Structure 1
Amino acid sequence: MMGHSSQTTEKRKGFYIMLEAMIEASPRPDGTCMQEIYLEGRLADQARNTGGIDDDRMLELLKSCEGFRQLVHSIGVSIHSEEEDISSVRFALENWGKTNKYTSGSRIEAVCPADGSETILKLSDFNLTAEDDVPGKFTFEFHRAGALATVNIIFYLNDGYDAPELKPDAPVAFESEAYRDMIRRSLLHAGNNYRLKKAIEKAKRGQDVTIAYIGGSITQGAGAKPIHSTCYAYQSYSLFKQLFGQNGGEHIHFVKAGVGGTPSELGMIRYERDVLKNDSVQPDIVIIEFAVNDADDETEGRCYESLALKALAADNKPAVILLFSVFMNDWNLQDRLSPVGLHYDLPMVSVKDAVVEQFYLSQEEGNLVTKRQYFYDTYHPTNIGHRIMADCLALLFAETDQAASHTEDIDLHKPPVIGNDFIDIQLLDRVTNINAAHINEGGFSETDTELQMVEMDDQSHGTPQFPHNWMHTAESGNDSFSMMITCKKLVIVYKDSGSTDFGTIDIWDNGQLIKQADARAIQWTHCHASILFNEQEAREHHIEIRMTDGHEQKKFTILGFGYVK
């Protein structure tokens, strides 16, 4: 689908900021159904990788609304949907504001036909103000959830600016030997195959086998459209069924527990709830994907190793596979985290090793997939990228099947390579492990229902995260939340929010202030884990949480805690 520009825009230079990008309408708490594409901190990367812009001056202008107006004359939007009931889509560019980030900025918007024709939005036709700070996000609003469309967006330039001619990418040759060679480079470490071979043999015998995935937004499926069936997790699960399933593979089961924007610091706390389903599921294979989420892990790997060991220590002895995804800037934490896999001789798959080197080759030199084809945005893969990730895992499955079996299991009785401090961590919230502590909720007596929503397992709809929470509001009073608990390690999980209604708490332990937590530090709704203490011996702790002085009329939501007895 290529839109048709007006005569005015045909005379102007321009570049694509989105090119043949799939979008999917998801339901929002306010009843709307939309796809959001966040631009803050990402727009310059999109221009570089999708539009081919390498002029540093132009890239810098895209970082502010003032610079954006200096550079961009108009926006060309082409939307194409093959679904009969989708005749139009409301498009908007929302600018973040200086006074109030999410409400004081202006909007550039129009209802666009969904037939692939181009709608031109001339910036001078809109009431843009000095209050605009940075371009915030694109929104595409549909009349129903689940609707799919393909989008092109072009930024047409003001006089004096130039853009290179866009050269189309060659289709990815999925069936070629060169593609198979690229996928083979992902096998970072075959590891001890004792457990994985047993899972494969179970599947071949027609016995029940469960594959579970835990990670961040890439595991959740961000960038995949539709998210529940084209994410790498579901695709690799489907490939496992094709390889080893019997009679349609109904005995192969799927668990997906990816939560966007969260590290293994949170993953280890929710493992029993989201992967084991509170002891109702015993996965045979667990795939851990936190290689691009753990930059903010306060322990620099102890939480990651603890999570791996928590999975490995289960009575049914599941196979654990470490998966290393990658960002558009070629970054991940493979160097920090792969020693865990080497230490316990775990299978490891590196998507970074497969794709990054060939990104910088010409087609003649051996390029198979471009960054524009692989990445949906700065952080997440497209459907093509998710397929590549799935093919990398499928290679490990197939290679393991063909290899001779190890005769002995891995050795877990060895000192950790980074740390195993949190291997026994458990979740505590309003309904889970409530006998582990004596709690007086005080002014945190409400329950927050506006939570991070995540597509779990094979669901296409979002599930609220940590619904059994404690929320402070202006009306709930200013009494402290207090908790008496005997433990040696404690992690608080709280809700981040972009709303100015939310504030900051002070956290006290046995009368000493140990931490402040600002719900607005991250500026979007998601789950935030933070370590309160990590001690070697258990003792009694009196935890007191109250709103910081001056924030008594603000909201704050404690989603739960993670504790080690």
Structure 2
Amino acid sequence: MQGPKAPKNPEKKRPYFYIMREKEIFSSRQEDGTGIQYIYESDGRLINSAQIAGNVTDKEELKLLETVEGFGKLVHSIGIFVETENPEEEIEFIFQIYGKNDLYGGGTNLKTKLKGDGMEYKILLSEYQWTEDDNIPGQIKFIFQTPEIMGKASVKLYLNDGYDAPEQIEDETVNINSEQYSQMVRSSLLSMGNTFRIQKAIQKAKSGKPVTLAYIGGSITQGAGATPIHTECYAYKSWKMFQKKFAIKENVKFIKAGVGGTPSELGMLRFERDVLRENEQPDIIVIEFAVNDEGDETKGDCYESLVRKALKLPWKPAVILLFSVFANDWNLQERLMPVGLRYDLPMVSIKDAVVPQFKNKEKQSITKNQFFYDMFHPSNLGHTIMADCLSYFFERCEETKGLRKNKFVTGIFDEETLERRLLETPVIGNSFESVHLIDKKDSYVGAKIDEGGFVHCDKELQCVEIDDSLMTVPEFPHNWMYNGDSPENAYFEMKISCKALLLIFKDSGETNVGKADVWVDTEYCLCADPHINNWLHCNAVILFNEKETKEHIVRIEIPKEEREKCFTILGFGYVK
């Protein structure tokens, strides 16, 4: 008879900190029938995750998270916990390192198989050897065998000898029925503004007439951080709240037009196609670009142009300005508020709601770890708070019955005053108020195009979930693509009569995508480089903005050294 084997030495207890703690995940359906949840950790996200979820303040340790060398020096192992309704659910966890030359294909994948049973599974970094192309910590993937199921995940980084971690403090449950929570929501109402158009929409809903709520913005409006993205995002939740409170039947329609990584510079070009599609006439339009517009070349002209474009629609919709916030307490509401004040618009600030209570532990309703999914996007609970803030505004509108005398001009009613304001000089600018889109589908009689070698149509595009659907839709599918097969014909030329012109091109992290030189009237304008942002999305840049309309020749040419690579023109925006 053989006795029991000697037990292995117990594993040394190591300090650790979280980079994800009790975060909702959702297995978005893939073409092969599996499901996947991506969590991006590049561009400072991993550092921010360590600060918010792990309470890390040590500058040396945070610095080490920037590179693969530092990551390997700091981290001993990775601990992963996933809990799903079915504890036997099979999941593959991958921590992907991005490559220096091949962003997505050149780096190491740290991975393990696990189950949705809430148990801890570990990856030992000592079992991996870095490659020459390994560059930075890139993204986390949870790959499920079953699509469209929910789960909760936590990820810990266990540290090597010589490093320590702060105490990991568990968050208290958020009490949405507390007075502190209510006060936080009330603090979001930056300005009631002119509520006349809002009240008209509320009365339409109450009378059973069709009403449409539309939302346009960046990734937060798309629903990033919400799981599942289509029903847990703030736009969907606030629309449902509006319908429940004001509609007498299912008579409120929902339009969601959020696109990740895009500012109002692109939003004003998408507006007609994405919001006013199929002759839609929204009664209320929520505009959310307060955390996307840092890259706006015009520093607010594009934003005000979009706001004015919406306000001046013939059916006179209401416009609400929504100011979301990043985890570093930053947004651009100070730059954009003057636009709201000029036209006396309602303004709702998520920054004003949550940031003060983040800093006041005694009056805190929600922690940053609970509000944010990552450094840029709210969690499900964060999206709920955003929806509650909009709902609070709608409730206040209902309380102020009837026409409100305008505070600017005594005796003139609200609609007349707004129309007067629209006739005044813009506070920042309205250069692009009448901008229109050109692509292969939507042409312009004032433009003559020589496609050159840009005869193909790119199918690998940024795709987003619109309205209340999980189905993704490609952005700018009617494009011009050069695919490297005709180096002797590597140009696109357009003769156009206009006073302003924007180029929209595809950004990408793929190695087979190259640059293009842009010339206007034989003068060199700019280099369109898809790798500056280095991920798949749509990029709008201004080629010229002049006071008078005249004819221009725009030539986009692939440099000789790049002619075996691809480049995609998604479209143009022009002002006559």
- State if a TM-score over 0.5 links the two structures: yes
Q: Which residue of 2 aligns with 1:401?
A: 398
Q: What's the offset of the Cα at 1:10? A: 6.8
From 216, 219, 222, the equivalent of 2:221 is 219
Amino acid at match of 2:65: L
Task: Give 3-state SS (helix, strand or coil) of 1:50's partner.
Answer: helix
Could you report, residue by residue, the CA deviation over 1:279-324 in whole angstroms, capped at 9, with x for unpaired residues? x100000000000000000000000000000100001100000000
Q: What's the offset of the Cα at 1:504? A: 0.8
From 96, 108, 126, the equivalent of 2:98 is 96
Pick which of 334-343 and 139-148 moved more: 139-148
Q: 1:300 to 1:28 in 2, by over 3 A?
A: farther
Could you report, residue by residue, the CA deviation over 1:526-565 in whole angstroms, capped at 9, with x for unpaired residues? 0000001001111111111110231111100000011111
Q: Which residue of 2 aligns with 1:282?
A: 281
Q: Distance between the aligned counterparts of 2:11 and 2:204, measured in 1?
A: 61
Q: Distance between the aligned counterparts of 1:48 and 1:155, measured in 2?
A: 13
Aligned partners of 1:228 and 1:455 also within 8 Å: yes
Q: Which residue of 2 aligns with 1:448?
A: 458
| 2:567 is the alignment partner of 1:561 | no
Could you report, residue by residue, the CA deviation over 1:223-242 in whole angstroms, capped at 9, with x for unpaired residues? 00110001000000011011
Q: Distance between the aligned counterparts of 2:431 and 2:294, measured in 1?
A: 18
Q: Which residue of 1 aligns with 2:382?
A: 385
Q: Distance between the aligned counterparts of 2:537 and 2:210, measured in 1?
A: 34
Q: Distance between the aligned counterparts of 1:408 and 1:462, measured in 2?
A: 40
Q: 1:529 to 1:32 in 2, by over 3 A?
A: farther
Q: Which residue of 2 aligns with 1:457?
A: 467
Alignment of 1:405-484 (within 5 A): 405-406=403-404, 407-409=413-415, 410=418, 411-479=421-489, 480-484=491-495
From 56, 59, 68, the equivalent of 1:56 is 59
Q: Distance between the aligned counterparts of 1:378 and 1:143, measured in 2?
A: 28
Q: Which residue of 1 aligns with 2:537?
A: 526
**Identity, % of aligned positions:** 50
Equivalenced residues, count = 554
Task: Give 3-state SS (helix, strand or coil) of 1:368's partner.
Answer: coil
RMSD of aligned Cα (Å): 1.6
| 2:372 is the alignment partner of 1:369 | no
Q: Distance between the aligned counterparts of 2:60 and 2:40, measured in 1?
A: 22
Q: What's the offset of the Cα at 1:414? A: 1.0
Q: Which residue of 2 aligns with 1:265?
A: 265
Task: Give 3-state SS (helix, strand or coil) of 2:517's partner.
Answer: strand
Q: Which residue of 2 aligns with 1:356?
A: 355
Task: Give 3-state SS (helix, strand or coil) of 2:511's partner.
Answer: coil
Q: What's the offset of the Cα at 1:29? A: 7.1
Aligned partners of 1:446 and 1:476 also within 8 Å: no
Aligned partners of 2:86 and 2:116 also within 8 Å: no
Task: Give 3-state SS (helix, strand or coil) of 1:121's partner.
Answer: strand
Aligned partners of 2:89 and 2:145 also within 8 Å: no
Alignment of 1:230-379 (within 5 A): 230-247=232-249, 250-278=250-278, 280-362=279-361, 365-379=362-376
Q: What's the offset of the Cα at 1:477? A: 4.3
Amino acid at match of 1:155: L
Aligned partners of 1:430 and 1:468 also within 8 Å: yes
Aligned partners of 1:98 and 1:132 also within 8 Å: yes
Q: Which residue of 1 aligns with 2:407?
A: none
Aligned partners of 1:442 and 1:477 also within 8 Å: no
Alignment of 1:10-89 (within 5 A): 11-27=13-29, 33-40=35-42, 41-83=44-86, 87-89=89-91
From 535, 550, 561, the equivalent of 1:539 is 550
Could you report, residue by residue, the CA deviation over 1:1-21 in whole angstroms, capped at 9, with x for unpaired residues? xxxxx9856711111110111
Q: What's the offset of the Cα at 1:372? A: 0.3
Aligned partners of 2:64 and 2:71 also within 8 Å: yes
Task: Give 3-state SS (helix, strand or coil) of 1:412's partner.
Answer: helix
Could you report, residue by residue, the CA deviation over 1:193-250 in whole angstroms, capped at 9, with x for unpaired residues? 1111111111111111000000000000000011000100000001101110103xx1
From 496, 499, 519, the equivalent of 1:485 is 496
Q: Distance between the aligned counterparts of 2:434 and 2:139, measured in 1?
A: 40
| TM-score, structure 1 as length reference | 0.95
Q: Distance between the aligned counterparts of 1:8 and 1:156, measured in 2?
A: 16
Aligned partners of 2:180 and 2:364 also within 8 Å: no
Could you report, residue by residue, the CA deviation over 1:363-404 in whole angstroms, capped at 9, with x for unpaired residues? xx1111000000000000000000000000001100011014
Task: Give 3-state SS (helix, strand or coil) of 1:435's partner.
Answer: coil
Unpaired runs of at least 5, structure 2:
1-7, 405-412
Aligned partners of 1:17 and 1:46 also within 8 Å: yes
Task: Give 3-state SS (helix, strand or coil) of 1:149's partner.
Answer: strand
Q: What's the offset of the Cα at 1:451? A: 0.3
| TM-score, structure 2 as length reference | 0.94
Task: Give 3-state SS (helix, strand or coil) of 2:545's partner.
Answer: strand
Amino acid at match of 1:422: F
Aligned partners of 1:374 and 1:382 also within 8 Å: yes
Alignment of 1:167-186 (within 5 A): 167-186=169-188
Pick which of 366-375 and 544-553 moved more: 544-553
Q: Distance between the aligned counterparts of 1:46 and 1:7, measured in 2?
A: 33
Task: Give 3-state SS (helix, strand or coil) of 2:70's partner.
Answer: helix
Amino acid at match of 1:521: I
Q: Which residue of 2 aligns with 1:504?
A: 515
Q: 1:66 to 1:305 in 2, by over 3 A?
A: same
Q: Distance between the aligned counterparts of 2:452 and 2:34, measured in 1?
A: 35
Pick which of 497-506 and 397-406 moved more: 397-406
Q: Which residue of 2 aligns with 1:3?
A: none
Aligned partners of 2:101 and 2:511 also within 8 Å: no
Aligned partners of 2:33 and 2:147 also within 8 Å: no
